[in-house]
Structure 1
Amino acid sequence: MNSSSSYLLHTSCPSCGAEIGIRSATAVTAVCGYCHSVLLVNQNKLLQSGRHSAVLNDLSPLQIGTTGKWQGKSFILIGRIQVHYEAGLWNEWHALLEDGSSAWLSETNDRFAFTRLQPASAGEEKLPEFSSLKVGKTFFKYQSRWYAVADIHKTSRGQYVAEGELPVSLPNSETALVADCRNGLSFITLDYSSGQQQPEVFAGRGVTLKSLKLQNTRRKEQIRSQAGYVKGRTKRGKCPSCGGEILWVSGVTDYVLCQYCHGQMDMSEDAALQKNISEKREWYERQLTIKIGSKARINNEDWWVLGAMILVELPVQIAFPDVPLYVQVMREETEEEDSLGWTEYLLYSPRKGFLWLLELENNQWAMSSTLEDWPILNGPLQPLDLKREDIPFLYDYAAHVMYAAGAFYWQVAPGDRMYYIDYGCKAHKLSTTLTDNEQSWSVVSTIPASLVAAWFQNDKNISIKAKPLERDKAVEIVREHQGIKAKDFNADNIRKWSRQTFINSLFNIYNPNFWIALFVVLNLPVIFIILVGGPADYDYGIDAVLVFIFAFSLLSTVPKLKTRQLNKTRKYNIYIAAILLIAFTWIDYAAHETDTNSSGGHYYSSSGRWHK
Structure 2
Amino acid sequence: MATTDTTPQRVYRAPCPGCGAPVEFLSAQSTHAVCSFCRSTVVRSGDTLQRLGKMAEVFEDYSPLQLFATGRFGDRPFTLVGRLQYRSSSGAWAEWHAAFDDGGSGILSEDNGSYVLMLPAQLGREAPAASQFRLGASTAISGKTFTVASNDQASLVSAQGELPKLPPLGQAFAVVELRSPDGEVVSVDWGSTPPEVLRGHQVQLEGLQMRGLRAEQAKEDKARQFNCPNCGAPVSVQLETTKSITCGNCQSLIDVSQGIGGELRHAIQDEPVRPLIPLGRVGKLQALTWQVVGFQHRVGMEPGDDEQFGWSEYLLYNAQRGFAFLVDSEEGWSLVRPTTGAPKLSADGRSASYLGKQFSLKYAYQAETTYVAGEFYWPVERGQKTFNKDFASGSLLLSMEQSPREITWSSGNAMAGDVVAQAFNLQGEGRDFQRGDAGPTSGGSKGLGCGCLLLILLGILLFIVLLYLLDDDRRGGGSRYRSGGGSYGGYSSGGGHK
- Number of residue-to-residue matches in the alignment: 457
* 2: CA distance, partners of 1:70 / 1:178: 25
Going from structure 1 to structure 2, the CA distance change for 1:302 and 1:20 (only over 3 Å counts) comes to: farther
The equivalent position to 1:439 in structure 2, one of 383, 386, 407, is: 407
Counterpart residue number, 2:164 = 167
Counterpart residue number, 1:288 = 275
Q: Deviations over 1:234-282 (max 9, x none)?
A: x6654323446655436423333557465544453325844365xxx67
Q: Which has the higher contact order (CA 8 A, sep 6+)?
A: 2
Q: Is the 8 A contact 1:251 1:268 kept in 2?
A: no
- The one-letter amino acid paired with 2:259 is E
* 2: CA distance, partners of 1:392 / 1:220: 42
Going from structure 1 to structure 2, the CA distance change for 1:465 and 1:262 (only over 3 Å counts) comes to: same
Counterpart residue number, 2:475 = none
- The one-letter amino acid paired with 2:265 is K
Q: Deviations over 1:183-221 (max 9, x none)?
A: 223321121345x7xx72524232221584322151433
Root-mean-square deviation (Å): 4.2
Report the TM-score when normalising by structure 2.
0.76
Going from structure 1 to structure 2, the CA distance change for 1:251 and 1:220 (only over 3 Å counts) comes to: closer
1:140: Cα distance to partner? 2.6
Larger radius of gyration: 1
Q: Please, which runs of 5 or more residues in structure 2 have no aligned partner?
A: 432-436, 464-480, 487-498
The equivalent position to 2:210 in structure 1, one of 193, 209, 215, is: 215
* 1: CA distance, partners of 2:400 / 2:49: 48
Q: Is the 8 A contact 2:89 2:152 kept in 1?
A: no
Going from structure 1 to structure 2, the CA distance change for 1:51 and 1:379 (only over 3 Å counts) comes to: farther
Q: Is the 8 A contact 2:230 2:266 kept in 1?
A: no
Q: Please, which runs of 5 or more residues in structure 1 have no aligned partner?
A: 318-331, 468-500, 509-513, 527-545, 554-560, 567-612
Counterpart residue number, 2:100 = 97
Q: Is the 8 A contact 1:247 1:293 kept in 2?
A: no
Going from structure 1 to structure 2, the CA distance change for 1:19 and 1:282 (only over 3 Å counts) comes to: closer
Counterpart residue number, 1:306 = 293
Q: How does 1:192-271 map to 2 (within 5 A)?
A: 192-194=190-192, 200-209=195-204, 212-224=207-219, 228-229=221-222, 237-243=226-232, 246=235, 248-249=237-238, 251-257=240-246, 260=250, 262=252, 264-266=254-256, 268-271=258-261
1:28: Cα distance to partner? 1.0
Q: 2:440 aligns to what SS in structure 1? A: helix
Counterpart residue number, 1:344 = 313
Going from structure 1 to structure 2, the CA distance change for 1:36 and 1:201 (only over 3 Å counts) comes to: closer
The answer to whether residue 59 in structure 2 is matched with residue 56 in structure 1 is yes
* 2: CA distance, partners of 1:335 / 1:273: 39
Counterpart residue number, 1:587 = none
Q: 1:415 aligns to what SS in structure 2? A: coil
Q: Deviations over 1:409-446 (max 9, x none)?
A: 22222221222223333522122222222212222322
Q: Is the 8 A contact 1:77 1:96 kept in 2?
A: yes
Going from structure 1 to structure 2, the CA distance change for 1:463 and 1:384 (only over 3 Å counts) comes to: closer
Counterpart residue number, 2:45 = 42
The equivalent position to 1:115 in structure 2, one of 113, 118, 129, is: 118
Q: Is the 8 A contact 1:162 1:170 kept in 2?
A: no
1:453: Cα distance to partner? 3.8
Q: How does 1:121-200 map to 2 (within 5 A)?
A: 124=125, 127=128, 129-136=129-136, 138-155=137-154, 158-185=155-182, 186-194=184-192, 200=195
* 2: CA distance, partners of 1:502 / 1:114: 41
Q: Deviations over 1:514-541 (max 9, x none)?
A: 6xx432x779xx9xxxxxxxxxxxxxxx
Going from structure 1 to structure 2, the CA distance change for 1:251 and 1:35 (only over 3 Å counts) comes to: farther
Q: Deviations over 1:20-42 (max 9, x none)?
A: 43221232112344554433223
Going from structure 1 to structure 2, the CA distance change for 1:65 and 1:150 (only over 3 Å counts) comes to: same
Counterpart residue number, 1:358 = 327
Q: How does 1:421-570 map to 2 (within 5 A)?
A: 421-425=389-393, 427-457=395-425, 465-466=429-430, 504=440, 507=443, 517-519=446-448
* 2: CA distance, partners of 1:44 / 1:272: 38
Q: Is the 8 A contact 1:67 1:216 kept in 2?
A: yes
Going from structure 1 to structure 2, the CA distance change for 1:211 and 1:90 (only over 3 Å counts) comes to: same
* 1: CA distance, partners of 2:86 / 2:405: 17
Q: Deviations over 1:100-143 (max 9, x none)?
A: 1222223233243333333576xx3764x43354433x223333
Q: Is the 8 A contact 1:312 1:401 kept in 2?
A: yes
Going from structure 1 to structure 2, the CA distance change for 1:272 and 1:241 (only over 3 Å counts) comes to: farther
* 2: CA distance, partners of 1:503 / 1:302: 22
Counterpart residue number, 1:538 = none
Q: Is the 8 A contact 1:39 1:47 kept in 2?
A: yes
1:69: Cα distance to partner? 3.9
Q: 2:172 aligns to what SS in structure 1? A: strand
